[in-house]
Amino acid sequence: MTGANFDEMFAQHLQDMREMEREELRNAVDQIETFKRLAQSKGVVLTEASFHHAPALGVTASAPALLRALLDIEPNGRDGLFGWPDLRRTLELSNIGGGCLRGDGFIAMAHPCFRRQMRLKNNWAPRFIDLFWALDNDGLQKSVALDEDRVRIDLDGPMYMEADTWYGPPFNEDVSQIAPGNVKLRPPAELSNSRVQMFFADAYCIDVKWSNAGDIKTFQALELKTEDVQLKLGNGLFHPARYLHAEFDTQRGTFRHFDGAIQYLTAAEYFARRDSDFSMTYKSTQHVKPTSKKVFKLNGAIEVKTWVELSSHFFAGNPLMFEYFNGALPMHILRILERLRSLPAS
């Protein structure tokens, strides 16, 4: 894929996201007008530019110190945290889930630092907020930072569900319906390195990307291992990364091309890439792209079922690809995680 093609597809993706936001805001016009009146009664004047929509947050209103104006509660003067008893006397636990507290006409949200990559439009990073919201031990004094400049105004959802450790457009057996965008899957954050090695084949993450160009949907997937997994190539040590690429013909309903490779990343490339996604171009490194070795290629009609099976087995020992295709980790991994999470903290 050329840089020009990628830029064109990325621009189209951004345009689609903006149009989706405009449509959601048009559908929420009554809620917006109602909330404007509520905010004005508290001394806050909002304009159309004050309202936004994101899949993980729903419709939100933003203004400096907006939450302070809506609440009759002040945070602690020393640390700026809101006491949980004070919050619960005024706000209810929201049916939207952890990180949210429902007030009269709005939903207060936890501070954006709890979100994935601390980005304003992302969902909560797993699994701290859910665990913190559920803490109810006798004698425990709980306080938390809230998003003081933004509240949610669509009170009853929808609730945006993500798997415990991944985000992005979900897989659909009707491949033509999969939304373009980046997906990242990671092992549960609480697992030790030895357990990641044992149950996830040393996987640090799997990145997936779908993009569209006419009747062709392009798929890419990259598996990065933990930093201690290295291979010798020539006179140097490299971080190996398994890579898949495929092209799906939406008119025929089958894949027309499928290939796999091993990429060999230098230390600089590896650490720059592992917490990024396919939008990264390695501009800060010496290579235009990492050294790679193609290991298989298929051209011709490839059924979706066959492609899924081959993709899963290419990432041998790593259940993250199974999670992507099926929406959940394999049952034996879920049982192991359940047992581990039930153990008392050491």
- Find the mean pLDDT for residues 325-346: 79
Q: Are residues 126 and 175 in the same domain?
A: no
Cα separation, 180 vs 168, in Å, equals 9
- Find the mean pLDDT for residues 160-183: 78
Q: Is 50 within a domain?
A: yes
Is the pLDDT at 251 greater than 90, yes or no? yes
0.75 surpassed by pTM: no
- Find the mean pLDDT for residues 316-330: 88
Q: Are residues 183 and 226 in the same domain?
A: yes
Q: Are residues 184 and 293 in the same domain?
A: yes
Q: Is 158 within a domain?
A: no
Of 246 and 338, the one with more pLDDT: 246
- Which of 47-56, 220-229, 261-270, 273-282 is the least confident region? 273-282
Tokens of 312: 């899963």
What is the model's pLDDT at position 4?
55
Is the pLDDT at 175 greater than 50, yes or no? yes
Cα separation, 317 vs 198, in Å, equals 9
- Which of 22-36, 112-126, 141-155 is the least confident region? 112-126
Q: Which of 130, 152, 174 delimits the end of a domain?
A: 152
Q: Is 52 within a domain?
A: yes
Is the pLDDT at 209 greater than 60, yes or no? yes
The tens digit of pLDDT for each residue in 34-50 reads: 999 999 999 999 999 99
Report the share of the chain in percent with pLDDT over 90.
Answer: 41
Q: Which of 152, 187, 214 delimits the end of a domain?
A: 152
Is the pLDDT at 262 greater than 50, yes or no? yes
Q: Counting every residue, how long is the chain?
A: 346
Helices assigned H by DSSP within 192-346:
193-200, 267-273, 304-314, 320-326, 331-342
- The answer for residues whose C-beta is within 8 angstroms of residue 74's C-beta and 6 or more apart is 68
Domain coverage including residue 97? 3-152
User: Cα angle at 29 between 27 and 30, to 5 degrees?
Assistant: 110
Q: Are residues 31 and 120 in the same domain?
A: yes
What is the model's pLDDT at position 3?
46
Mean pLDDT of the chain: 84
What is the model's pLDDT at position 89?
92
Of 113 and 63, the one with more pLDDT: 63
Is the pLDDT at 248 greater than 70, yes or no? yes
Of 163 and 52, the one with more pLDDT: 52
The tens digit of pLDDT for each residue in 117-141 reads: 577 887 777 667 877 888 787 777 8
Q: Are residues 83 and 171 in the same domain?
A: no
Q: Are residues 179 and 143 in the same domain?
A: no
- Find the mean pLDDT for residues 185-213: 89
Q: Are residues 123 and 174 in the same domain?
A: no
Counting the structural domains of the chain, the total is: 2
Q: Is 223 within a domain?
A: yes
Cα separation, 51 vs 275, in Å, equals 30
Q: Are residues 178 and 275 in the same domain?
A: yes
Note the Cα 160 to chain centre separation in Å.
11
- Find the mean pLDDT for residues 222-240: 91
- The answer for residues whose C-beta is within 8 angstroms of residue 155's C-beta and 6 or more apart is 102, 105, 106, 107
Q: Is 159 within a domain?
A: no
Report the share of the chain in percent with pLDDT over 70.
Answer: 87
Q: Are residues 144 and 213 in the same domain?
A: no
Q: Is 157 within a domain?
A: no
Nearest Cα neighbor of 130 from 152, 99, 159, 101 is 99
The tens digit of pLDDT for each residue in 294-309 reads: 888 989 899 999 999 8
What is the model's pLDDT at position 14?
65
Q: Are residues 308 and 335 in the same domain?
A: yes
Q: Which of 107, 125, 152 delimits the end of a domain?
A: 152
Q: Are residues 128 and 193 in the same domain?
A: no
Q: Are residues 319 and 253 in the same domain?
A: yes
- Find the mean pLDDT for residues 253-265: 91
